[in-house]
A = this chain, B = another copy of it.
Amino acid sequence: MDADERQELVLLLRRLTVELDAVGQRFAGLHGLGRTDVRAMVAIMDAARRGEALTAGVLGQAVDLSSASVTALVDRLERAGHVRRVRDADDRRRVALELSESAMAAGADFFGGLNRDLLAAMADYADDELTVVRRFLTQMAAVIERHARADPPS
C-alpha cells in the first residue's frame, strides 16, 4: 500500500469525526440544543453507562468549560427537562447530574439506531479482520490522544 493510500486512511479518520460531529449537530437541532449541550449529555450518558454519577465540576473538565459556563449549561439542560441536579448526601457541596427519562429515551432512540446500524455493518467482517481493526483504531486513538494533551517533539 503506497503513501497516498496511507494518507487516504488518515483523511478517512478525519471524515469519520466530521460525520459523527454532524450526527451530534443533527440531534442538537432536532431537540433545540446547542453543540455544547449535546456534548454534555453524551458525557453524562457515558458516565452513567460506567456506573458513575457525573458532578458539575467533572462535567466542566470533560467538555472544557469554566465553572460559570457549566452552571449556565446545567441551568439550560435542567430548564429543558433533560437533566436533574441531585445533591450528594455525603459531600453536600457536590451536585450530581442525572439524565431524565425523556432525555434517556431520546438519546437511545437517536443514537441507538446509529449503534444498531454500525453493529449490523460489522456483521460482514470476519473475527480476525475485526481484531485488526481494533488494534488499528486503538493505536491511532493513542497517537491522537498524545497530540491532544501536549505537543510531543516526537
Contacts and interface: CB of A to CB of B under 8 A. Distances in A.
A80 to B, nearest CB: 21
Contacts of A154: 113, 116-117
Contact of A129 (B115, B132, B144): B132
A141 to B, nearest CB: 5
A118 interface: yes
Contacts of A48: none
A3 to B, nearest CB: 8
Nearest to A110: B151
A139 B8 CA distance: 14
A137 B20 contact: no
Contact of A21 (B10, B21, B137, B152): B21
7 contacts: A12-B134, A19-B141, A19-B144, A21-B21, A23-B148, A117-B143, A125-B136
Interface of A: 1, 3, 5-10, 12-17, 19-23, 25-26, 64, 110, 113-119, 121-122, 124-125, 127, 129-134, 136-141, 143-149, 151-152, 154
